[in-house]
Structure 1
């Protein structure tokens, strides 16, 4: 039974919580409230939010952003899950160098990642030159959804990979041995033992991957010349159209969608941890 806190203990607890509460108010609640007010300051008032949710162009932009973010998350989890588990379980010459190369994108901002995709799949990129030599037709996809997806995945793999490796280190190999001794195939062991063991890490890292892709601007600014992802729409409304109210409303909607996914992921990760315990 929990004992009631004394006044002194409450003051101590408040002292520890004060910095977090100040940061929450200064860097989250106040900007969010101001963003809400700015979004409602246009000629349509609060109806601006409803107009966005019924406008085909803005809904299409939101749909494209969610689509590319979901695809980025799925591809990143697949690649990082397999590679992370393999690197954690195996020791071989050059492993450290390979891990360093896989985590190298951590040192680059999104704009640099975008330029790297252009150098690979742009009009003068390596893929275009090779495809011209092989088939006579130049393959260029840096400025399409495929190029944007490549940039997002390249940017997202390092963080997810490190998270998966940390989680794989804690897996008990005896569970796999027991499953194999009972006749389970490799696919069955993967589905019934490895994936449940890595599930909290996959959910949490996948949520962060999705959130990063939803709000990514540098890579989108470099590559999305023909794709209206929401960060680019917000940038256009703010800088070129000087429509502060609409840009603020779009930003708030983008943030709410991302926050909702993060909240669901946090709940799912907590439930999976409790089930595993």
Structure 2
């Protein structure tokens, strides 16, 4: 094979479009956000944000909701993804298409679907009214937002699990089975470690998506206090640009920290399984 090297001017020409996009759509907006949030009093502004009980409660609720969605999504997606990757049955392609169909829906549509399911006139409420005499309505709470986030998170992770499952070395499972390992031991000691790099990466993306998701929360925002809604309220209703920008930076830093940890853990997992 021939080693193809590009002259310096060609390297610059090839990287220039990506660099331009990075500067225009990430670097400049972030610099603008930091400038607005600082308001000539950088430390005082962020100290006020981080000591505000309402803002920190909103941040904590957002992190806990995102973590719960991520954990539940990973469990359900591993079960469904392994089944779909390893079993052939009638209607499998149709089922996979239906499971991944929510990828095409924006957050607002997902929110309306949750309302149709668990809203005041929703299906769950109607069934509960017939069975118990009481209408169950939880679409406009954290439970409804959890269902909405779960709905658009599962398809993303299932696709990752299915792709990773097709690359597993079946001989390792056969060897473990021949040594008397139970199905649970094979799953714990062979399958999950092999899937771990993909699961960590998919889980990080799932967490980041849930942290910043706005459309679904906006549609269901009757009794919901998550950070994207807090930022929206400060920006639109209170016209508080400084606080909105500062909270945006805080949200971005938390999400970036999780993604950075995932990249580090993924690298370690890859090294361990090599």
TM-score class normalised by the smaller sequence? over 0.9
Gaps of 5+ in 1: 1-5
- Residues 17-32 of structure 1 correspond to what in structure 2 (within 5 A)? 17-32=15-30
When normalised by structure 2's length, the TM-score is 0.96
User: Which residue of 1 is the match for residue 73 of structure 2?
Assistant: 76
Aligned runs of 1:98-109 on 2, under 5 Å?
98-109=95-106
1:182-216 CA distance string (max 9 Å, x none): 11111100000100111011000100000000000
Which whole-Å CA distance do the structure 2 matches of 1:211 and 1:238 have between them?
A: 22
Cα distance between partner residues in 2 of 1:197 and 1:86: 16
Deviation of residue 112 (structure 1)? 0.4
1:276 aligns with 2:273: yes
Once residues 252 and 100 of structure 1 are traced to their aligned partners in structure 2, the CA distance between those partners, rounded to angstroms, is 37
CA contact (8 A) 1:39 1:46 kept: no
Matches within 5 A, 1:109-258: 109-258=106-255
1:107-165 C-alpha deviation (Å, 9 max, x unpaired): 11000000000000011101001001001011111111111000000011111110110
Map of 2:39 onto structure 1:
41
State the match for 2:7 in structure 1: 9
Looking at structure 2, the residues matched to 51 and 14 of structure 1 have their Cα atoms a distance apart, in angstroms, of 43
Q: Distance in 1 between matches of 2:18 and 2:110?
A: 33
Distance 2:222 2:230 in 1: 11
Root-mean-square deviation over aligned CA pairs: 1.3
C-alpha distance in 2 between matches for 1:67 and 1:20: 35
Task: Encode CA deviations 1:198-244: one digit per residue, 9 max, x unaligned.
Answer: 10110001000000000000000011321210000000000000001
List structure 1 runs of 4+ shifted beyond 6 angstroms: none
In structure 2, stretches of 5+ residues that fail to align are none
What secondary structure does 1:97 align onto? helix
Aligned counterpart, 1:3: none
Shift of 1:46: 3.8
Question: Is 1:64 matched with 2:46?
Answer: no
Contact 1:113 1:151 in 2 (8 A): yes
Give 1:94 shift: 0.9
Partner Cα distance (1:45, 1:198) in 2 = 43
Normalised TM-score (structure 1): 0.95
127-136 vs 15-24, which deviates more? 15-24
The 1-side partners of 2:213 and 2:138 are apart by 19
Helix, strand or coil at the partner of 2:89: coil
Alpha-carbon separation, structure 1, partners of 2:225 and 2:143 = 14
